[in-house]
C-alpha cells in the first residue's frame, strides 16, 4: 500500500450530503461534488490487511477488488482504478449510490476502528470515468448467432444482458414499464439515483453496444394484450427471468381498504414517473402535501418514503418500526465481519429531524387498526410490543392513536409475480420464488434461467448484479459448452 500508516494517521471522514433544507427544495441528487484530495486521504486508510474481507462473501457480493482501487486512488491513478472497478462490477455508479456497503461492515480496519469509506471512493471513481470520457460503449468483435430474451430490466437483467452481449449473443431486454431500469428507475427516488444523468446514461451505452430494449411489454400468457412468454421461449435459444420481487407484504388489519393507504412502491413509482413526465404538473401521483403521514416499516424503502413526503411538503411525519432501536455498536451476537446491525441515521431521517426537530422513527410499535372518517383513513391505532420467549407480545395499557391522512406500507416484499412464469410451468420454492439453484440459475424448464430477487428473494442491488453476471456465465456455459465470462 502507498501509505502503510495511513489508517493510523487519518480518521474516517465520509463525504457529506447537500444541506437538508437545500436538498429538500428539489429532487436532485443529495450528493456533493467529489473532493479528490479528501478521497486520496481516505483511500490511504486501506491498511494492507493481508486478507481483505471487504471483497469476501461476507463483504462485497461482486467481489470488488477494493484494496487495489483504494491504493490506485491514493496514488491518483484514477483510470487504472476504474479498470479494476469495472472488472467485477458492471454498474458501480448504481452501487456507489444506493448500496448499503456490506464491504464496509466487513472491513478489517472496522474490528477496532472505523472502516474505510469504500462506498464514497467507488462512486468517485466511476463518476470520474464518465467525466473524463473513459467509459464508452463496447460492441463484441463477433456474434455467435444465438438469441437470449431477458425479462425484466432491473440491475440483474441489465448486468446479465451486458455480459451476454459481450459473449456475442443477440440480447433483447423486455420491460413492462415505460422506461428501462426496473427498480433503478422507479423503485429508488431520483435524489438517491438520478434517472437521466445516471440510469439513462448507462442504458444508452448498453443500447450502443448492441443490446435491444423493448418497453411497455407485459409478458404473460398472451391474453389481454400481453406478450406470450412461450413465444419468447420458442423464438430464443434461452430466456432469463429477472423480474424482481414485486409482491408487497400487506398489513391485514381492520380498515385496510380505506382510501389514503398505499403500498410504498406505488407511492414512490407514481412520484418519480410524474416528476419525469411533467415535473408533477400532471398531478398523476400520490401527494403527501399538507398531510399527516405515517410510514409503516423501515429500511431503505421506508426512508425513501420519508424523504419523498418531505419534498411534497407533508404536515407531519412518523415512521413505525416494529422492533427495538438497534444499539450504537455491535452486539455480542453480531460480531465482525457480519453486517453490523446498529443504529443508523439515513438521509431521510436527517431531513425529517431538520424539518420537524426530531427523528421520525418510533420503535416497538405494532399497528392494530386504521381509523376511518368518511371512508378515508384519519388515523392509526397502535400498541407497544416487547420480545418475550422469542415472540413479540403486546404491552397492556400501551394503546395509542396517531393522526394520519396518508399511510405508506413499506414492509418489504414476499416474492415475484407469476404472470410470466406460470405459463412456462416454472417450479417455485417454499417462498414463491422461481426455483433455481444459486450458482446454476437453471429453472425446472429447459433453457429458462432465473436471477436476482425473483430467485433469491428481496435483496440488494449489488446482489442482483452478482446474480445477473453469474447467470449470464452459466447460461453461456449451458448453450456453448464452455464460457469465458467471469
Same domain for 391 and 377? yes
Q: Is residue 163 part of a domain?
A: yes
Choose one of 76, 100, 132: the last residue of a domain.
132
Residues 6+ apart with CB under 8 A from 43: 70, 71, 72, 73, 74, 116, 121
CA distance linking residue 293 with residue 316, whole number of Å: 6
pLDDT tens per residue, range 74-102: 999 999 999 999 999 999 999 999 999 99
C-alpha cell, 25 = 427544495
Q: Is residue 139 part of a domain?
A: no
Choose one of 411, 436, 471: the last residue of a domain.
411
Q: Is residue 335 part of a domain?
A: yes
Phi–psi pair at 141, nearest 5 degrees: -70, -35
pLDDT tens per residue, range 341-391: 999 999 999 999 999 999 999 999 999 999 999 999 999 999 999 999 889
Task: Flag whether pLDDT at 327 surpasses 90.
Answer: yes
pLDDT at 237: 98
pLDDT at 459: 96
Give mean pLDDT, residues 48-69: 94
Total structural domains in the chain?
A: 3
Task: Flag whether pLDDT at 2 surpasses 90.
Answer: no
pTM of the model: 0.96
* pLDDT class of 57 with cuts at 50, 70, 90: confident
Same domain for 272 and 176? no
* Three-class HEC string of the chain: CCCCCHHHHCCCCCCCECCHHHHCCCCCCCECCCCHHHHHHHHCCCCCCCCCHHHCCCCCCCCCCHHHHHHHHHCCCHHHHHHHHHCCCCCHHHHHHHCCCHHHHCCHHHHCCCCCCHHHHHHHHHHHHHHHCCCCCCCCCCCCCCEEEEECCCHHHHHHHHHHHHCCCEEEEECCCCCCCCHHHHHCCCCCCCHHHHHHHHHHHHHHCCCEEECCCCEECCCCCCEEHHHHHHHCCEEEECCCCCEECCCCCCCCCCECEEEHHHHHHHHHHHHHHHCCCCCCCCCCCCCEEEEECCHHHHHHHHHHHHHHCCCEEEEECCCCCCCCCCCCCCCCCCCCCCCCCCHHHHHHHHHHCCCCEECCEEEEEEEEECCEEEEEEEEEEEEECCEEEECCCCCEEEECCEEEECCCEEECCCCCCHHHCCCECCCCCECCCCCCCECCCCCEEECCHHHHCCCCHHHHHHHHHHHHHHHHHHHHCCCCCC
pLDDT at 173: 98
Q: Is residue 141 part of a domain?
A: no
Task: Flag whether pLDDT at 416 surpasses 90.
Answer: yes
pLDDT tens per residue, range 269-312: 999 999 999 999 999 999 999 999 999 999 999 999 999 999 99
Same domain for 362 and 254? yes
Same domain for 110 and 27? yes
Task: Flag whether pLDDT at 1 surpasses 90.
Answer: no
Task: Flag whether pLDDT at 314 surpasses 90.
Answer: yes
Q: Is residue 333 part of a domain?
A: yes
pLDDT at 483: 97
CATH number of the domain that 283 lies in?
A: 3.50.50.60
* pLDDT class of 59 with cuts at 50, 70, 90: very high
Which residue range is the domain that position 337 belongs to?
Answer: 250-411
Task: Flag whether pLDDT at 451 surpasses 90.
Answer: yes
pLDDT at 472: 98
Same domain for 374 and 228? no
Q: Is residue 137 part of a domain?
A: no
pLDDT at 389: 87
Give the mean pLDDT of the chain. 97
Same domain for 407 and 424? no
Give strand pairing partners of 292: 316
Closest by CA position to 312, among listed 278, 283, 350: 283
Same domain for 385 and 277? yes
* pLDDT class of 404 with cuts at 50, 70, 90: very high
Q: Is residue 211 part of a domain?
A: yes
CATH number of the domain that 39 lies in?
A: 1.10.1060.10
**In the chain, % of residues over pLDDT 70:** 100
Same domain for 317 and 377? yes
Same domain for 151 and 97? no
pLDDT tens per residue, range 214-228: 999 999 999 999 999
Same domain for 404 and 384? yes
pLDDT tens per residue, range 130-139: 999 999 999 9
Choose one of 370, 385, 411: the last residue of a domain.
411
pLDDT at 3: 87
Q: Is residue 433 part of a domain?
A: yes
Amino acid at each position: 500500500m502507498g501509505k502503510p500508516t495511513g489508517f493510523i494517521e487519518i480518521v474516517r471522514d465520509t463525504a457529506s450530503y447537500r444541506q437538508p433544507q437545500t436538498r429538500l427544495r428539489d429532487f436532485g441528487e443529495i450528493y456533493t461534488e467529489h473532493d479528490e484530495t479528501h478521497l486520496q486521504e481516505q483511500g490511504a486508510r486501506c491498511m494492507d490487511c493481508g486478507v481483505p474481507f471487504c471483497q469476501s462473501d461476507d463483504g462485497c457480493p461482486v467481489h470488488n477488488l477494493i484494496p487495489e482501487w483504494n491504493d490506485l486512488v491514493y496514488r491518483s491513478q484514477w483510470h487504472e482504478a476504474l479498470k479494476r472497478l469495472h472488472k467485477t462490477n458492471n454498474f458501480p455508479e448504481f452501487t456507489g449510490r444506493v448500496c448499503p456497503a456490506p464491504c464496509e461492515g466487513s472491513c478489517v480496519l472496522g474490528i477496532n476502528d472505523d472502516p474505510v469509506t469504500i462506498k464514497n471512493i467507488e462512486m468517485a471513481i466511476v463518476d470520474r470515468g464518465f467525466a473524463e470520457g473513459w467509459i464508452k460503449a463496447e460492441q463484441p468483435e463477433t456474434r455467435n448467432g444465438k438469441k437470449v430474451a431477458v425479462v425484466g430490466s432491473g440491475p440483474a437483467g441489465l448486468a446479465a444482458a451486458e455480459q451476454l452481449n459481450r459473449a456475442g449473443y443477440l440480447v433483447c431486454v423486455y420491460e413492462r414499464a415505460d422506461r428501462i431500469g426496473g427498480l433503478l428507475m422507479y423503485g429508488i427516488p431520483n435524489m438517491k439515483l438520478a434517472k437521466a444523468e445516471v440510469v439513462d446514461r448507462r442504458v444508452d451505452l448498453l443500447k450502443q453496444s448492441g443490446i435491444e430494449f423493448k418497453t411497455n411489454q407485459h409478458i404473460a400468457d398472451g391474453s389481454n394484450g400481453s406478450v406470450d412468454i412461450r413465444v419468447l421461449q420458442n423464438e430464443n435459444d434461452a430466456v432469463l427471468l429477472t423480474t424482481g420481487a414485486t409482491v408487497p407484504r400487506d398489513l391485514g388489519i381492520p380498515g385496510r381498504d380505506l382510501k389514503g393507504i398505499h403500498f410504498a412502491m406505488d407511492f414512490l413509482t407514481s412520484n418519480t414517473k410524474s416528476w419525469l413526465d411533467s415535473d408533477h404538473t400532471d398531478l398523476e401521483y400520490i401527494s403527501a402535501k399538507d398531510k399527516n403521514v405515517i410510514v409503516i416499516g423501515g429500511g431503505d424503502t421506508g426512508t425513501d418514503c420519508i424523504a419523498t413526503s418531505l419534498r411534497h411538503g407533508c404536515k407531519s411525519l412518523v415512521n413505525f418500526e416494529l422492533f427495538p432501536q438497534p444499539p450504537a455498536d455491535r452486539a455480542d451476537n453480531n460480531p465482525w465481519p457480519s453486517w453490523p446491525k446498529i443504529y443508523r441515521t439515513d438521509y431521510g431521517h436527517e431531513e425529517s429531524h431538520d424539518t420537524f426537530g426530531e427523528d421520525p422513527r418510533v420503535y416497538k410499535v405494532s399497528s392494530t387498526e386504521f381509523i376511518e372518517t368518511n371512508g378515508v383513513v384519519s388515523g392509526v391505532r397502535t400498541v407497544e410490543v416487547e420480545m418475550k420467549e422469542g415472540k413479540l407480545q403486546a404491552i397492556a395499557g400501551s394503546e395509542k392513536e396517531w393522526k394520519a391522512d396518508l399511510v405508506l406500507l413499506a414492509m418489504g416484499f414476499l416474492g415475484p409475480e407469476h404472470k410470466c412464469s406460470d405459463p412456462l410451468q416454472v417450479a417455485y420454492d417454499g417462498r414463491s420464488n422461481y426455483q433455481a439453484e444459486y450458482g446454476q440459475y437453471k429453472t425446472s424448464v429447459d433453457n429458462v434461467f432465473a436471477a436476482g430477487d425473483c430467485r433469491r428473494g428481496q435483496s440488494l442491488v449489488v446482489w442482483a448484479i452478482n446474480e445477473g453476471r453469474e447467470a449470464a456465465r452459466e447460461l453461456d456455459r449451458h448453450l456453448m459448452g464452455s464460457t469465458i465470462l467471469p
